[in-house]
Amino acid sequence: HGTMKVNEQGHLEIGGCDTVDLAREFGTPLYVMDEVLMREICRQYKSAFVEKYGNAEVIYASKAFLTKAICCLMQEEGLGLDVVSGGEIYTALQANFPPERMYFHGNNKSASELTMALEAGVGRIVVDNFYEMEMLDRLAGEMGKKAEILLRITPGVEAHTHEYIKTGQIDSKFGFTLPNGQALEAVKAALKKENLVLHGLHCHIGSQIFEMDSYAYTARVMMDFIKEIQKTTGWTAGELNLGGGFGIYYADGDEPATITDYADAVFAALREKAEEHDLPVPKVIVEPGRSIAGPAGSTLYTVGSIKEIPGVRKYVAVDGGMTDNIRPALYQARYEAIIANKADQPPAEVVSITGKCCESGDMLAWDVPLQPAEPGDILAMFCTGAYGYTMSSNYNRLGRPAAVLVANGQADLILQRETYEDLVRNDVIPARFRK
């Protein structure tokens, strides 16, 4: 997919770059981001939501994959940015990303993070709970500023996805609960706060969602709520942020919708409810992360040891693992892979791809078809662009991989490989050990 093809040497090429050459030049594991595909998806979002329906904004959920270069790319594509921590805000500011296009999320923002956001002039702070509401009002007052906010609402919608990435259900740590009246209390409270300017509402039902009906249903629930708020307070929400979560193809069996289906489902629901309730259609904001970064990313690994247990399983070990992609271990996520230097050959056997960490759970793929693997081969795993690097760790003191952005035969380093030096940079030996 994207700009991938098999070249004359039978090697996998991404963005016009031979992946075997990339592995040689930059080392492995290596995250390879297909810039053309990433931009293409950004444009699909803009065309499906903004160009078609007008009053809409697309913001990239940076938790999926964030480096300074990615901020620059998002800015060029005209997307906003969803940030959830001081670290993400800092990264974006370092890349000169316009703060007014950032939305600041999180269920436990600290006073220093909120101060940082207010100082920087972050566009919207998405207030999650009463504790934060009080704190933000006080901090903004002390700074002589007004905080521009949305309220995060937990709509009580069960999305069909993995337990760990569901967020819309009542039993969730996020947001003000809608069905029990807490959300309405929050709106009333926010409207009374002197230093808060309430612009609208936010909700996010979860991630890796394939059913566009879930979005339509949520949009209807939120519109009913907007009407209820209007009746009780006279205030009409001007903005409705519907979160992210659009599901992507990872492996056989995944059937994602199209981005156009997504936008159409949302707007059909909003228009229907707007008419029913005699409300304006609010400005719609969507926050895709996975669907922008995921398909654009592949990870290159070098194959090392291979262990065959006759009649049981064949383990093909690579030089990374749960440290650069914890998703299979954490969510039983599935991936597809090929041997990049044998891309012109059909798969010859079913193997399990394992990492190099000291853990049996350190698996990247169970029972997947693969070309005959030998030590030294380059293995390419697909759709690893989202939540791979951002959830990476230094377990077993492995350094984090490098990342390159590839396009039109050019590969640019956007993330340096961590060195041994990097790994000990923050270690401190107390003086009493230095005798």
| Known binding-site residue numbers for substrate | 290, 327, 331, 359, 387
Whose structure tokens read 């939305």? 103
Which residue's CB is nearer to ligand LLP, number 165 or number 279?
165
Whose structure tokens read 């030998």? 374
DSSP 140-155: HHHHT--EEEEEEEE-
Q: Is position 103 an interface residue for ligand LLP (rule: CB under 6 A)?
A: no
Which residue's CB is nearer to ligand LLP, number 166 or number 227?
166
Question: Closest approach of Cβ 5 to ligand LLP, in Å?
Answer: 27
Alpha helices in 200-326 (DSSP H): 212-233, 259-277, 290-293
Q: Is position 143 an interface residue for ligand LLP (rule: CB under 6 A)?
A: no
Detail the residues annotated as belonging to a binding site. 245, 287-290, 327, 331, 359, 387
Question: Closest approach of Cβ 62 to ligand LLP, in Å?
Answer: 9
Q: Is position 289 an interface residue for ligand LLP (rule: CB under 6 A)?
A: yes
Cβ–Cβ under 8 Å, residues 135 and 113? no
Detail the residues annotated as belonging to a binding site for pyridoxal 5'-phosphate. 245, 287-290, 387
Q: Is position 290 an interface residue for ligand LLP (rule: CB under 6 A)?
A: yes
**Distance between terminal CA atoms of the chain?**
59
Q: Looking at 331, 359, 395, 423, which residue binds ligand LLP (CB under 6 A)? A: 331
What's the length of the chain? 435
Question: Closest approach of Cβ 45 to ligand LLP, in Å?
Answer: 11
Q: Is position 243 an interface residue for ligand LLP (rule: CB under 6 A)?
A: yes
Q: How far apart are CA 290 and CA 33, in angstroms?
A: 13
Q: Which of 17, 203, 358, 383 is catalytic?
A: 358
Q: Is position 61 an interface residue for ligand LLP (rule: CB under 6 A)?
A: yes
Q: Is position 106 an interface residue for ligand LLP (rule: CB under 6 A)?
A: no
Q: Is position 246 an interface residue for ligand LLP (rule: CB under 6 A)?
A: yes
Q: In this structure, what token pair is assigned to residue 197?
A: 């300017």
Question: What is the SS3 string spanning 180-222?
Answer: CCHHHHHHHHHHHCCCEEEEEEECCCECCECCHHHHHHHHHHH
Q: Is position 257 an interface residue for ligand LLP (rule: CB under 6 A)?
A: no
Near ligand LLP by CB under 6 A, which window of 25-33, 70-78, 183-191, 282-290?
Answer: 282-290
Report the alpha-carbon angle 357-362-364, nearest 5: 120
Q: Looking at 105, 166, 227, 334, which residue binds ligand LLP (CB under 6 A)? A: 105
Q: Is position 175 an interface residue for ligand LLP (rule: CB under 6 A)?
A: no
Q: Collapsing DSSP states into helix, strand and coil, what is residue 130?
A: helix
Q: Looking at 13, 82, 113, 324, which residue binds ligand LLP (CB under 6 A)? A: 82
Return the residues of window 366-395 that contact ligand LLP according to CB under 6 A: 386-387, 391
Question: Closest approach of Cβ 373 to ligand LLP, in Å?
Answer: 26
Is 203 assigned a catalytic role? no
Q: In this structure, what token pair is assigned to residue 119?
A: 């100082």
Cβ–Cβ under 8 Å, residues 197 and 146? yes
Which residue's CB is nearer to ligand LLP, number 259 or number 317?
259
Report the alpha-carbon angle 192-193-196, nearest 5: 125
Cβ–Cβ under 8 Å, residues 35 and 404? no
Q: Is position 124 an interface residue for ligand LLP (rule: CB under 6 A)?
A: no
Question: Closest approach of Cβ 273 to ligand LLP, in Å?
Answer: 22
Q: How far apart are CA 271 and CA 277, in angstroms?
A: 10
Burial environment of residue 425 by CB neighbours within 10 A (0 to 12, 13 to 18, 19 or more): exposed
Q: Looking at 155, 245, 321, 401, which residue binds ligand LLP (CB under 6 A)? A: 245
Query: What values do phi and psi take at 26, rounded to 5?
Result: -105, -10
Q: How far apart are CA 55 and CA 160, in angstroms?
A: 29
Question: Closest approach of Cβ 37 to ligand LLP, in Å?
Answer: 16
Q: In this structure, what token pair is assigned to residue 414?
A: 């956007």
Q: Collapsing DSSP states into helix, strand and coil, what is residue 6?
A: strand
Question: Closest approach of Cβ 219 to ligand LLP, in Å?
Answer: 15
Task: Report the catalytic residues.
Answer: 358
Site residues (CB under 6 A) for ligand LLP?
Answer: 61, 63-64, 82, 105, 165, 204, 207-208, 243-246, 287-291, 327, 331, 386-387, 391
